[in-house]
Structure 1
């Protein structure tokens, strides 16, 4: 587990899973709260040491080395607090668990300078301004709903980042896809930027390892509800992998083309599938070991109303009140 050796400094051991990668790539995975370009600049400025000695971005790592990073003051942008609503399922001195609604961008960026989850977090929990990326250790897409854990202290941040890196934080998603898979499966397909559209991700031969597991929880005439877990955390991983298997998520505007439902599908179900306004993906369950107490904790987020309505239509039921 990474430690904070002194004020403002970061120290961690490079996991064995990073063996053979360039140091700048390993640092980006180990400290996801900082951009790779910023970490590379700090490497070139001598702000990073490996086992106490100097290091270069292109150096290969073997795993097990101890890296120390001394961030510069103001190395990342400072975001403004905004009075926005939050649904908080858990709060203690080290971490928060948020139930994120659809349409909420996680952090400011190009096209979304404000009105994000980070802005809301900084308003409700001003102490997060002292943490990298206001305590964010992972993300959800704008229109994916559900559970997201946020660090609230240095100890919490260090522990959560290490646990994510070592895949000790367990996340389960509910997805509603086009078509009906014959059964559960493991999708082991490397991912990277799409070769022609850099805004999209894709399964590519020389991509980073990406593994998704799913089971079929419920079958409908032309769709299925899946329980999905991740072994890796690539951008858009579930959406890309299910589309790769020809079972794109209903409503996905990027990886799932609008489809006409087969004739055997009831009109209400066909209409619900065609008009669902976002990807039907929900982070339903989160389980972790508390970074300070060691207690095993788990949370579940109820289905949002739109997703519950979609499932009701697919079952031939009336929409829930």
Structure 2
């Protein structure tokens, strides 16, 4: 489901021009090159800063090392001239980047079905299935969302992270958005940084939460167990707003809205409250069976092997049209069954 309301979106910092040199619809061919032409007019805010640092700020979708190389190769010009990366800005320069994009990933395309909620020339909204890893990594070099996306749209190989601007965990289901071009990736990344992307999750937790609230606790990597994240001083700001949607005898269905997007944020925050997510294999030590639980509930809890977490709503401003768009994804079957069993259990008491 999508809804759209007109609003203005502009890119005052940068003018973009993307030109397709060759059609890229053939899944069997190499991804084709995109000619990229970018310009940005600096102001006094950049006075005295190194040009490679400034370029990394205004074009954050590229690595600083890549931008330094483009400076050296003459693809990134300052007032039409080649300068060294250590050049100090006067605060009134015109930066021009003319380059043909190369593949940004070594991942290979794979013919993996995608549940596409919405797609146009700029964005793809995916309803990710439970069990699908988003990005290749140690132990998961293939079979990921990135591999599927590269098959669906080969030109995504030219974008950092194949157009991904945010992630959800392997065993979390639901919505995420992928950019199909640099302009869209730039816009969506800025929206995420400004905390204007609307992300709402449905979850089921152990115990009874009385009322909604806000969790504002910093998150960083656990100092001992590197698989885990933890609430620790010096961590990155992490804010989760939540409200109670449904109460059961020993469980609560909650809806949480992310203000920030830290790794495992919802799982860590609710574990911190003492209300770990049903099925969470990392932050809940063991399956907890309430006293007097029916055989049906016991079987459901024992068989629910992933965190009961679903990215249900995603709101964003379209990068090209400026429309406000809202997407919704229904619960997957296992989440629906869990809630139905909990409702049935409630009726028995």
Aligned to 1:133: 161
Aligned to 2:146: 118
Instruction: Please give the residue correspondences for 1:196-235 in structure 2 after superposition, counting only pairs within 5 Å.
Output: 196-235=224-263
Aligned to 1:155: 183
User: Structure 1 residues 265, 209: closer, same or farther in 2, change over 3 A?
Assistant: same
Distance in 2, matches of 1:43 and 1:228, equals 38
Distance in 1, matches of 2:275 and 2:153, equals 40
Asked if residue 294 in structure 1 is aligned to residue 322 in structure 2, the reply is yes
Structure 1 contact 42–71 (Cα < 8 Å) conserved: no
Q: Cα deviation per residue 1:40-93 (whole Å; 9 max; x = unaligned)? A: 6458769699x999889xxxxxxxxx9999999658432211111011110101
Q: Cα deviation per residue 1:81-135 (whole Å; 9 max; x = unaligned)? A: 1111011110101101101000101111111111111111111112222222211
Structure 2 contact 174–312 (Cα < 8 Å) conserved: yes
Asked if residue 81 in structure 1 is aligned to residue 79 in structure 2, the reply is no
TM-score, structure 2 normalization: 0.74
Asked if residue 315 in structure 1 is aligned to residue 343 in structure 2, the reply is yes
1:193 to 221, 237, 242: 221
Distance in 1, matches of 2:339 and 2:280, equals 16
Structure 2 contact 115–128 (Cα < 8 Å) conserved: yes
- Alignment RMSD: 3.5
Distance in 2, matches of 1:118 and 1:167, equals 24
Instruction: Please give the residue correspondences for 1:1-321 in structure 2 after superposition, counting only pairs within 5 Å.
Output: 1=11, 3=14, 8=36, 31=60, 39=63, 41=65, 76-316=104-344
Unaligned 5+ residue runs, structure 2? Answer: 1-10, 18-34, 42-51, 87-93
User: Structure 1 residues 71, 163: closer, same or farther in 2, change over 3 A?
Assistant: farther
Unaligned 5+ residue runs, structure 1? Answer: 14-22, 57-65
Give the secondary structure class of the aligned counterpart of 2:230.
strand
User: Structure 1 residues 235, 71: closer, same or farther in 2, change over 3 A?
Assistant: farther
Task: Point out the structure with max Rg over C-alpha.
Answer: 2
Distance in 1, matches of 2:168 and 2:204, equals 17
Structure 2 contact 36–99 (Cα < 8 Å) conserved: yes
How many positions carry a matched residue from both structures? 296
TM-score, structure 1 normalization: 0.80
Distance in 1, matches of 2:253 and 2:99, equals 44
Structure 1 contact 188–210 (Cα < 8 Å) conserved: yes
Distance in 2, matches of 1:154 and 1:8, equals 9
